[in-house]
Structures are given as structure tokens and as C-alpha cells.
Structure 1
Amino acid sequence: MPVGAPRFVVSGDGDGVASRAGVVLLRELASACGLADQVTDALADTYKAAWLHAPGQVFADLAVAVADGETSMDGIERLRERGQLHGSVVASDSTAWRLLERIDAAHLGRVRQARAAARARAWAAGAAPAQASDPDGWLTMDVDASVVPCHSDKENAAATWKKTYGFHPLMATLDRSEISCGEFLAGLLRPGNAGSNTAADHIEVLDLALEQLPAPVRPGTPDAPSILVRSDSAGATHAFAAYCREQRVGFSFGKAVDVTLVAIANAIDDRLWQPAINTDGSIRDGAWVVEVTGSPAAQPVLSAFPDSTRLILRKERPHPGAQLGLHNTTREGMRLTAFITDTPAGIVPRHVAGLDLRHRQHARVEDRIKDAKATGLNKLPAWSFQANAAWLEIVAAAADLICWTKLPGFADTPSIARTSPATFRDRVLHIAAKITTTSRRIRLHLDTTSRYAANIATGWTRLRHAFT
């Protein structure tokens, strides 16, 4: 036993003590934003008789459990076990399984509509990004795919390009840099052998993402902010760029570097390259950018893309471990990258350097995917492909509940608002509390030894007021 550590007398008779008391906040939010009621309406016709547990509440409870860090269907049992916090209305895992099996392709679309309605309610209550109310602002969607391995033979699982076995979902998230997280707008479950640059899949996930946005901010709505879609080179197909133009959203796509672009870079006068910049506006050491849209050699590269598409090159001193080859290395030994965008001049500060910085911030999508994998995405629980697609919607709802809790609840507490889901759970959801009953009212006394107890109590009150 460590020196100085107290030696406790241990017994199992504690009463009125609750662990993970902050999870109640997410359950309240799921109800307040209408997620539970909307999903119930979406799935009501799948029941032939009256239900004991409303399907929307089961869906919301699954999302809350996943947000709390559970990775399988029996995670709902953790809520059920804490009856003093959540009451006796939490469904069992067998009921949750039956719910998942009821969500076929048609009802999956209705569940997505229910999520969109909940998002509109949450944004109206104060969870919207600041740009949503600014006609000159930009909402940025990041589209990216990731491999989700599985260790058993599930429907439509296949070998992946990473030489693993599983699935290759394509996801669209809304960049929310002000709270250091993203909203999980849309996810498209695909077999493991699905192509990285399949334009049809990118078009479908963009449609699903746009449908998730509240009506006042969708493209074409008066006074709506502009929307930018970012992707790596997998999204840089002619068809997807043309579809973005058709839907009146801007694009910024990585462009695969080949010998043609290296030759263009080598032919540019050194005086035309301008320094790249960091997020704070300072000069980025060892990196330069240049626009080559007007170069005759660039015209074959741009000819199939929409009018006004711009091509920007970036060269940088290679960092340790960089993969270099003749196809992506300039004559000075610089690592060359490129991207295309249709954003006109004068829109982004610092012109070409600003466009480059904005495109490099697409790298934040890797954090969004990491967060999703830490919130249920890394394990698809069912054999059925359709049930796993429904699970993906539960994961998306879980990620959104965390995001909507941060605003407006903890906007002035960066140590909570700007955290990963794992840290958010540790600081907010897993706080302990004591339950008492006074004057016929049940009170939850948050653990005063937690440094965030007062912040959580204040944020809880703000969220309740926001939805009243």
C-alpha cells in the first residue's frame, strides 16, 4: 500500500450516491432538442401494437450511452443499471437490438430527417455556429473516409486498401473550430473495398449533409452563409466538383501531385512564390505557395473542372518521415502539394496564402474521425449491413449531442468546450453526485471536489433555459 494512503473500511452499502451523473445532462438534451420524439414519429409504423419503450427514447438512450463511451449495444444496460439517475424507463439491450433491426433503408431516411429536425431545434436554442447567422460567413464541411475493421464475417465486409478487412464509411462533418469539435452531419456506410475517389459516393454524402442543415442556412436561401466543401485528393473528381457548383457550394480539394505539376513548380520564378502562413497569421517557416491557374501548362489539368477553378501549389521543406519521390519533389528537394478551389479572389484574407491555410485546416477532419471512432464508430455491432448503417446514425447522434452540449452550455469554459470526447466524459459526464429528496423535489448534488462542479451546474442551467 502506498505510503500515506488511507486504509479504508470497504462496504457495499452506499446509498444515494451516483456515478456518471453528468450523463443525465445528455439525456435531458436528447429530449429537449426533440431527438427522441422525432425518431419515435419516424419509426412508429414499424410497431404493430403499443410499445413499452418509445422507439425514439431507445434510440436516444443508445446515442447517450455511446456518447458516454460505450462501444456496443449492451452499453444501454449501463444506463439501466443506474436507475436512481435515469428512472426505470431505460430499455434492455434486447429491446435495443430489436429497434436496430426495424430501421430498414426507408426508415433510415426518416431517422436522418429526425436528426435534422433535432439539429434545427438545437441551433435555434444557441448551438449554431456563429457563421450561420452571417450572410458573409462560411460554413465548412469536411468530407473524408476511414477504414473500420471487423474481426468476423459481416454482411458486405470486404478487404480494404489498408490490407485489413471491414468497412470503408464516407463521412461529412461540419467544422466547429470555436469549440474544437465537429458536428457529424452524414455518414455513408460502404463495403471495405469501396473506392476512395468514387464521385457518386461523394455526391450522395454531400446531399445527406446538406439535408442536415437547418433550412435557413441551406444553399440558395436568402441571407444564408456560403458553404465550402473540403476534401483531400479523393474528392477531386470532375463529377464531384461539377455537382458542388450545381448545388451552389464552394469547394477546396487536394490535387494529386504528378510529374506535370512538378514540372510547373520547377518552371516558376522563385520570386513569385510567397510565404505560407500559420493559423495566427505569422509566416510559416520553410513553406511557400503560388497560384498557377494562368499557366498554359496548368490548363490541361483544369480543363475538365468547372469554370473559375484555381490551382495552387505549395512547396515545403520535408519534415522527418515525409514520403518523397520524383513525382512530388521539386528540384530543390522540396515536398510539393497542390489543391484546387473555386473561391474567387478577395474572399479569403491574405489571398493565396489564406486559401492555402484554409485548405490545410482540412486536416482537422482526422480529429473528427478519431473522435467518432472513440464514440462508437470503431465497432459495428451487427451482422446485417442495414443494422450497421443504423448504428452509424446512432454514432452521429452521439457526436452531435456532445457538440450541442458544449454550446450554449459551456461557451465561456474553454477547458470544457474545447476538449475531445474522452476528456469531456472525464470532466463532465463522469462527475459523481449525491441524490437527495427535499420538499418532494429530487436534487442532484454534484461532487464539490471536482474543479468543474460549478461550471457544470451553470452549464446545465443554461441548457435548460435555452430550450424553454
Structure 2
Amino acid sequence: MREYGLNLRFSVGHAVTEPVRRAIRSLPGALWHPALDQNGTMRDGAEVAELTGMVDLAGYPVGTRITVRRERPHPGAQLSLFDHDEGLRHQVFLTDTPYSGGGSAQFLEVRHRGHATVEDHIRCGKNTGFGRFPSRHFDVNATWLELSLTAIDLLAWARVLLLDGELAAAEPKKLRYRLLHVAARLTRGGRRLRLRISATWPWRHELATAFHRLAALPRPVD
């Protein structure tokens, strides 16, 4: 779909319904292709196939395609009865990206899988402020949204520049508990401000390291 000069396409998950299950079971083995990882290498134990024409997509936009990925389930994966019967985990999605746009089933599946990262960031954003708006007034909510987006950016840069290990990939709730809400006291002495963190706080060293790294960052040039 073209809107305001932009070529807009959708890629959304689809339930593994009974018609989809029938199509998967009837699909010839030769139509399954190796799935790919983000770097273009083959994804071990995973295959992709297109089900377009085998499942009724009436009611969806013209040109909608349906694709399935199957792979060996990782430990702890939640499997449906169909997955248990087949011994593989299945995920299905719809898209209107045409073949002419580079839309091979393998490419489309890699692109769709990347959406999980986007959805994770949206979920984290809701935990950082824009999940709730405090007012019925547009201007107040607009300001709140800008502050929330600023907080999201600051957390993202903090993870990249100041943190290591588990905390470098932590979500806002975990960072809030371990670092941002730590009990501490601000004191003055020798013309300097000091932040005194509780000696029993489990992540005091990580927080101190983050402050040292922040102080060592080069100053922006005017």
C-alpha cells in the first residue's frame, strides 16, 4: 500500500488454525526451504514454506501471503498438541510483500522474526512511561510522551555505554530495581559531592562502575 509517498507493507502473526494445520501436513517436502538467520547463514533445524493458495485468506487484502516456519523446539518451548504430534514447533505469519519486492519466503521469515525485537522495545517503552498517560489534556500527554521517549533513550545508551553482562541487556523493570531505585545518600565534603551507596546492596559495584564510566565519557563539543 502506498500512502504519502511511502511503500507500506504489513507482516503479522497468524494462528495455527485447523485449515493451516491441514495445509502444513499436505505440503510436499520439496517445498520446504532452509530458514535463515539474520546474518544470512542457514538456521540450524529450521525450515520455511509458503502456504499461499492452500489456505483461504478471504477477507484479507488482495496480495496477502501466508508463510510457515517449523523448527526443532528449544528446551522449555511451549508447544501445542499439533506441535507435539509433528515433533516440531510451528509459527505462521501473513504479509502483503510481493515477490517482486525481494519477498522470498526465507527473506520474509527473517524479517518477520526481527519484529520480535521491535515488539520487545514497545513493551519496554510501556514500562518506561508511555503505557499510561496521566491527563485528559493533549498537551500534557504530549509532554509526558516526550519525557518517556527521552527516558527510553537514556536507558538504551546506559546499557550500551555504562553496563556489562546481564545488566547490559536488562529491561527497565530490572534496571529500576537493581540500579535506579537503590537506597543512597548524597553528601558533601572537600568541595565534592559523594553518592554513598549501601554497602550491602548486591549491585553496588555495577552502579559504581557505571558512574565511573559516565564520568570518563568525552564531553560533547559545542
TM-score by length of 2: 0.64
Task: Indicate conservation of the 8 Å contact 1:252/1:359, yes or no.
Answer: no
Contact 1:291–1:312 (CA under 8 A) maintained in structure 2:
yes
Aligned 1:46-445 pairs, distance under 5 A: 238-239=1-2, 243-244=6-7, 253-254=11-12, 269-276=28-35, 281-284=43-46, 288-290=47-49, 313-314=67-68, 316=70, 319-320=79-80, 337-340=92-95, 341=97, 344=102, 352-353=105-106, 355-410=108-163, 413-445=164-196
The code of the aligned residue for 1:313 comes to T
By how many angstroms is 1:405 displaced? 1.5
What is the aligned partner in structure 1 of residue 56 from structure 2?
none
- Quote the offset at 1:315 in angstroms: 5.1
> Does the 8 A contact of 2:51 with 2:65 survive in 1?
yes
Whichever residue aligns with residue 421 of structure 1, its letter is P
Residues of 2 paired with 1:364 and 1:448: CA distance?
36
Distance in 1 (alpha carbons) for counterparts of 2:2 and 2:26:
30
> How far off its partner does 1:374 sit?
2.0
CA distance in 2, matches of 1:429, 1:255: 35
Cα RMSD of the aligned pairs, angstroms, is 4.5
Tell me, in whole angstroms, the C-alpha distance in 1 between the residues paired with 2:193 and 2:91: 62
Aligned length: 197
Is contact 1:312–1:352 with CA below 8 Å preserved after alignment? no
Task: Go from structure 1 to structure 2 and tell me whether the alpha carbon gap of 1:282 and 1:335 turns closer, same or farther (over 3 Å shift).
Answer: closer
Taking the aligned partners of 1:460 and 1:272, their CA distance within structure 2 comes to 55
Alpha carbons of structure 1 residues 435 and 336: separation in structure 2 relative to 1, 3 Å:
closer
State the distance in 2 between where 1:414 and 1:256 align.
Answer: 35
The unaligned stretches of length 5 or more in structure 2 are: 54-60, 72-77, 83-88
d(CA) in 2 for partners of 1:253 and 1:403?
26
In the TM superposition, what is the alpha-carbon distance from 1:277 to its structure 2 partner? 6.1
Percent identity reads: 27
1:320 Cα deviation from its structure 2 partner: 2.8
What residue identity is the alignment partner of 2:194?
R
SS of 1:445's equivalent? Answer: strand
Cα offsets for 1:236-274 (capped at 9, x unmatched): xx23597137xxxxx66238699x999987885321212
Pick closer, same or farther for the CA change 1:456–1:335 going to 2, 3 Å: closer
Instruction: Kindly indicate whether the alpha-carbon contact (under 8 Å) linking 1:289 and 1:312 is maintained by their aligned counterparts in 2.
Output: no
Counterparts of 1:336 and 1:432, CA distance in 2: 45
Q: Which residue identity lines up with residue 148 of structure 2 in the other structure?
A: V
Taking a change above 3 Å as real, the CA distance of residues 256 and 371 of structure 1, as seen in their structure-2 partners, is: closer
Tell me by how many angstroms 1:395 deviates: 1.8
Structure-1 separation of matches of 2:131 and 2:51: 41
Normalised to the residue count of structure 1, the TM-score between the two structures is: 0.34
Specify the alignment match of 1:462 in structure 2. Answer: 213
CA distance in structure 1 between the aligned counterparts of 2:35 and 2:145, rounded to whole angstroms: 38
Q: Which has the higher contact order (CA 8 A, sep 6+)?
A: 1
Cα distance, 1:435–1:397 mapped onto 2, change above 3 Å: closer
Q: Match of 1:253, as an amino acid?
A: S
Letter in 1 for 2:68: R
C-alpha distance in structure 1 between counterparts of 2:4 and 2:79, whole Å: 31
